[in-house]
Amino acid sequence: MIKDSVKEILEELTEGVELVGAAKTRTPEEILESVEAGLKIVGENYVQEAEKAFEVVGEKAKWHMIGHLQSNKAKKAVKIFDMIETVDSIKLARAIDRACANIGKVMLVLIEINSGEEPQKAGVLPEDAISLIKEISELENVQIMGLMTMGPFAGDPEDARPYFQKTKKLFDEIKDMNLPGVEMRYLSMGMSNSYRVALEEGANMVRIGTKLFGEREYD
């Protein structure tokens, strides 16, 4: 039961750790059930799925974009989402900034780090993160709130640990720089199989799908 798994995981998480329910492929009704059981943040990978779920769940939850966002979807995305966790380029940040300016909103964003430094993968390379963050911090309708990472796909959660450590180190380094207009409050890392390792390494936001909703039939 979704209800039971939501309660179980919420009980396990210590205070100050945010649970994002990774809801891709789930029906609006399943998402509503999780929210009624206490889930406060719904994470969506696709704007279109988010729009459908938003019609049913609405403002009973906060909405986080956790999938890759194309710049041409920014206009639709900013209407629904409270936070976009996957900003990894100045082009995307500018598209979000413009779309938000049009509707008088400031979008909270996390910078996605390609901690595995894998070509073809989403996220900014760790060594390019600080200059990107400085550039984005100048935008008026975008507010940087922290970092997010996936890490390379790993069967064994221990394999993800070095990438979580690397991202936490970067998070602390940026935090210590006290850059104007930049808050380093959230470190979003860890999924169903790896969130315990992520929490040990300093995550304060975890994105959990399978363990909340059950196995997915497709991605």
Binding site for ligand PLP (CB under 6 A): 22, 24, 45, 66-67, 150, 191-192, 207-211
| Min CB(84)–ligand PLP separation in Å | 12
Beta-bridge partners for 43? 22, 64
CA-based nearest residue to 112, from 171, 55, 162 = 171
| Min CB(153)–ligand PLP separation in Å | 10
CB of 166 or CB of 211, closer to ligand PLP: 211
| Min CB(161)–ligand PLP separation in Å | 16
Question: If you search the block for the tokens 């975890």, which residue do you land on?
Answer: 206
CB of 38 or CB of 131, closer to ligand PLP: 38
CB atoms within 10 A of CB 55: 9
Which pairing describes strands 182-188 and 107-113: parallel, antiparallel, or unpaired?
A: unpaired
| Min CB(168)–ligand PLP separation in Å | 17
> 142 near 136, Cβ under 8 Å?
yes
Residue 63, CB-side half-sphere exposure with 13 Å CA sphere: 27
CB of 171 or CB of 213, closer to ligand PLP: 213
